[in-house]
């Protein structure tokens, strides 16, 4: 509301230091930009002329002046002040502007002067907005004077709620709540029959830095020590969590002494809309570790008081487009909350890195991986939760592949890929890492080389840890690896990825992976819908069959267009690698080999008889190149750019 009264800022009143009148030059000089040179109002001659005017004419002159000009007249001399003051402060709107200015600036004489002209000077009506202005600007003396003058006498429920929010904001530094709650304000709240959010705002008081005595007082008046207070979007905070965020060990121990629950109560008692479990102190400490220096100290305090580092709560990461898991959700741990709460991968000198924090949490017994739960009696029984995600998926999904330019981010990913921490999810990790090769084109050119190098190192390091026990998932990894190369656009980048792809295949073959093994259910990952007859297991398509089928449709569908040769280059490179690494193009599926699938459109087309004088189309030239690859001949990418005959 104060921003709407710009007039008084220009008006800048001049008043005396005595109550209610009797100005001095010291006061005039004290107020910023208030003293006005008499030349600004046409000099001393005009002042003298105004003083000699009869009262009736003087009133006519003042009637056309704005508040700013009237305020300037106040600084001229005592005679004009005595004649101008009643007119200026006799108007309610001018008094309101003056008091608001005084609340912002912390100038008590203006308040005394303005209220002395009120119709009821003994008990002036002071809106509660004045209290909020004084509190926001940190003027405790003005705040107390307004309370003593009766600013709380006209408090309604809405104003009470707004005042509590202002008083309990962290910027007020608790000096106002310490004054208000032990005195009149607490009684006023009880009279208005406000709810606990206003009558006993324990969490806001703790966040504002209220002293222990005030917390005891509010608890004695009935405050709930385990109350869930709204925090940001769909998150809640308990008094203990507020003490963790405020870095107040004394309040934390006091709340426990008074009966607060260190585990936040059973999560079944809470709403299913809770997010990240910040109402539980150990989760609040995990969030604090990611955003503040005192996080580790508060985590140690929580653990010393009996918090469980392996505590789990439901996650609220709901995607409405994925409604295939009714009444099913996953539980997250403090370590996962820590990873999700990181805001920057740049650490200041002397602070532990995120990877060091992960090691510290694991040493304390933290649990890294979430688990599924089904129908455990949440308040919202119709909850629908997204499918399982690993920590690596969360991090890459949130920060994107470009974050690999940060050493701290790379260190965390490498840490999570270690065999003892990935918990058998190597296939998921590889697929997800491999997926991000597609995103390299969107990375800033300054970082692209370093990001590609880090991504390659991560994939190869993970593949190097493959064991014979991972054989059942190797083919799926291979298929997804192949898929990422089919849609690239820059040949220079593709060459690098083809080399990486060959290394990946070698590593998977070294632990027993078989390129010619069929796993029909995995071929949907390539984005091709196939109509293979699958009456027998051997009829399921191999990797080579699926790639050739997709390439066949690509060529036949672009017969009369300028074909995008990068797709052919990619697929040709894949075919070469697969055959070099042991793929058999003559294995049949559904009665067709990979060679038959690639040349199927020309087998059905009479023009494939190639009469004398026939000129090859570009698509048929490409098909011939790829057929040569299947026959074991070397592939020359320059053939794709040669003119057709």
Please report whether residue 251 resides in a domain: yes
Phi, psi of 145 (to 5 degrees): -65, -40
Question: What is the torsion angle, in degrees rounded to the nearest 10, for the CA atoms of residue 369, residue 372, residue 378 and residue 383?
Answer: 110
Lowest mean pLDDT among 505-509, 522-526, 634-638: 522-526
Please report whether residue 343 resides in a domain: yes
- Considering the chain, what percentage of its residues have pLDDT values greater than 90? 5
Please report whether residue 335 resides in a domain: yes
Closest CA to 417 of 433, 398, 436, 437: 433
Q: What is the CB-side half-sphere exposure of residue 245 using CA atoms within 13 A?
A: 22
CB 476 within 8 A of CB 431: yes
pLDDT grade, residue 570 (50/70/90)? Answer: low
Lowest mean pLDDT among 188-197, 400-409, 446-455, 570-579: 188-197
- Per-residue pLDDT at 300: 93
Higher-confidence position of 519 and 224: 224
Please report whether residue 30 resides in a domain: no
Higher-confidence position of 152 and 517: 152
- Beta bridge pairs of residue 332: 313
Please report whether residue 478 resides in a domain: no
DSSP string, 231-264: ETTTEEE-HHHHHHHTT-HHHHHHHHHHT--TT-
As a whole number of angstroms, the distance between CA 56 and CA 45 comes to 20
Contacts for 620-626 with beta carbons within 8 Å, 24 or more apart? 622/555, 622/563, 622/565, 622/568, 623/555, 623/598, 623/599, 625/568, 625/572, 626/548, 626/551, 626/568, 626/571, 626/572, 626/575, 626/598
* Residues ≥6 apart with Cβ < 8 Å to 477: 427, 430, 431, 434, 504, 508
Q: Which domain holds residue 311?
A: 225-389
- Considering the chain, what percentage of its residues have pLDDT values greater than 70? 45
Please report whether residue 241 resides in a domain: yes
pLDDT grade, residue 43 (50/70/90)? Answer: very low
Please report whether residue 575 resides in a domain: no
Lowest mean pLDDT among 206-210, 478-482, 582-586, 595-599: 478-482
597 pLDDT exceeds 50?
Answer: yes
- Per-residue pLDDT at 384: 41
DSSP string, 181-199: TTTHHHHHHHHHT--HHHH
CB 379 within 8 A of CB 271: yes
Number of domains forming the structure of the chain: 1
- Return the H-helix or E-strand segment holding 291: helix 281-291
Q: What number is the average pLDDT over the span 509-528? A: 51
Lowest mean pLDDT among 25-39, 179-193, 568-582, 601-615: 25-39
Give the CATH number for residue 265: 1.25.40
Please report whether residue 261 resides in a domain: yes
78-87, 360-369, 529-538: which has the highest mean pLDDT?
360-369
594 pLDDT exceeds 50?
Answer: yes
CB 566 within 8 A of CB 489: yes
- Return the H-helix or E-strand segment holding 230: strand 229-231
Higher-confidence position of 286 and 402: 286
Phi, psi of 7 (to 5 degrees): -60, -40
Neighbours of 186 (CB within 10 A): 16
């Amino acid at each position: 509301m104060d921003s709407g009264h710009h007039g008084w800022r220009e008006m800048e009143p001049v008043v005396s230091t005595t109550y209610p009148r009797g100005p001095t030059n010291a006061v005039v000089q004290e107020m910023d930009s208030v003293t006005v040179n008499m030349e600004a109002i046409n000099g001393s001659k005009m002042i003298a002329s105004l003083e000699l005017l009869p009262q009736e004419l003087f009133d006519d002159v003042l009637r056309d002046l704005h508040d700013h000009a009237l305020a300037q007249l106040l600084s001229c001399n005592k005679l004009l002040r005595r004649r101008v003051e009643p007119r200026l402060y006799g108007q309610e709107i001018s008094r309101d502007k003056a008091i608001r200015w005084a609340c912002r600036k912390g100038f008590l004489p203006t308040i005394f002067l303005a209220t002395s002209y009120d119709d009821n000077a003994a008990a002036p009506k002071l809106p509660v907005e004045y209290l909020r202005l004084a509190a926001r600007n940190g003027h405790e003396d003005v705040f107390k004077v307004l309370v003593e003058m009766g600013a709380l006498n006209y408090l309604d429920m809405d104003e009470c709620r707004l005042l509590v929010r202002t008083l309990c904001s962290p910027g007020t530094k608790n000096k106002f709540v310490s004054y208000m709650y032990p005195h009149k304000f607490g009684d006023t709240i009880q009279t208005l029959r406000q709810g606990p959010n206003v009558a006993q705002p324990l969490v806001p008081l703790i966040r504002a830095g209220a002293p222990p005595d005030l917390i005891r007082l509010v608890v004695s008046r009935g405050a709930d020590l385990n109350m869930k207070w709204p925090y940001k979007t769909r998150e809640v905070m308990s008094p203990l969590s507020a003490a963790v965020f405020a870095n107040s060990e004394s309040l934390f121990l006091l709340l426990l002494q008074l009966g607060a629950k260190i585990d936040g109560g059973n999560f079944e008692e809470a709403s299913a809309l809770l997010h990240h479990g910040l109402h539980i102190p150990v989760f609040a400490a995990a969030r604090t570790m990611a955003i503040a220096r005192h996080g580790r100290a508060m985590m140690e305090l929580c653990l010393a008081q009996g918090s469980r580092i392996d505590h789990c709560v439901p996650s609220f990461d709901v995607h409405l487009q994925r409604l295939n898991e009714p009444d099913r959700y996953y539980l997250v741990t403090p370590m996962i909350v820590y990873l999700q709460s990181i805001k920057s991968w740049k650490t200041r000198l002397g602070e532990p890195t995120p990877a060091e924090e992960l090691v510290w949490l694991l040493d304390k017994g933290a649990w890294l991986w979430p688990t599924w739960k089904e129908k455990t009696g949440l308040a919202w029984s119709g909850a629908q939760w997204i499918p399982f995600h690993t920590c690596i998926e969360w991090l890459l999904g949130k920060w994107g592949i470009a974050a690999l330019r940060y050493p701290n981010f790379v260190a965390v990913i490498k840490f999570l890929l270690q065999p003892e921490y990935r918990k058998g999810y190597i296939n998921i990790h590889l697929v997800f890492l491999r997926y991000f090769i597609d995103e390299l084109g969107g990375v800033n050119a300054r970082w692209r080389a370093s990001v590609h190098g880090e991504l390659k190192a991560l994939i190869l390091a993970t593949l190097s840890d493959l064991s014979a026990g991972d054989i059942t998932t190797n083919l799926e990894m291979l298929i997804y690896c192949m898929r990422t190369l089919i849609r690239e656009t820059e040949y220079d980048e593709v060459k690098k990825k083809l080399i990486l792809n060959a290394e990946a295949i070698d590593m998977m073959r070294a632990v027993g992976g078989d390129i010619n093994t069929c796993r029909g259910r995995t071929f949907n990952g390539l984005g091709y819908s196939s109509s293979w007859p699958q009456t027998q297991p051997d009829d399921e398509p191999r990797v080579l069959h699926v790639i050739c089928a997709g390439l066949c449709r690509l060529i036949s569908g672009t017969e009369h267009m300028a074909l995008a040769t990068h797709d052919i280059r990619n697929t040709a490179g894949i075919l070469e690698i697969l055959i070099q690494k042991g793929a058999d193009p003559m294995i049949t599926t559904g009665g067709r080999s990979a060679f038959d699938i690639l040349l199927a459109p020309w087998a059905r087309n009479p023009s494939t008889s190639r009469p004398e004088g026939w000129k090859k189309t570009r698509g048929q030239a490409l098909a011939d190149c790829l057929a040569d690859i299947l026959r074991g001949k070397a592939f020359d990418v320059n053939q794709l750019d040669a003119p057709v005959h």
